Amino acid sequence: MTRKKILLSAALLMAAVSSALAQGNGIGGITEATNMVTSYFDPGTKLIYAIGAVVGLIGGIKVYNKFV
């Protein structure tokens, strides 16, 4: 009976330690992910502006052709 209690407590201790070690770099991972996402924001914004400019030019040409 005592051996079962020792094994059970050892297993619970190992589970607690492994979950505590798994949480060690959580903040670092979140910070790295945030930096990666924000590094893509400026080029993405420029790409959307370029697409909008092309669509605007095409729309302007179509409107001009309707007037002529």
Determine the pLDDT at residue 59.
96
Whether residue 12 is contained in a domain is answered as no
Whether residue 49 is contained in a domain is answered as yes
The DSSP-derived string for 27-57 is HHHHHHHHHHHHHTHHHHHHHHHHHHHHHHH
User: For residue 64, what are the domain limits?
Assistant: 36-68
| Gap between the terminal Cα atoms of the chain | 97
Determine the pLDDT at residue 19.
57
Determine the pLDDT at residue 38.
83
| pLDDT digits 0-9 by tens, 7-62 | 777 777 777 666 555 555 667 777 888 888 888 888 889 999 999 999 999 999 99
Whether residue 57 is contained in a domain is answered as yes
- Tokens coding 30: 């979140």
- Tokens coding 65: 């052709």
Whether residue 13 is contained in a domain is answered as no
> What's the domain count of the chain?
1
Whether residue 27 is contained in a domain is answered as no
Other C-beta atoms closer than 10 Å to the C-beta of 22 total 9
- Tokens coding 56: 């605007």
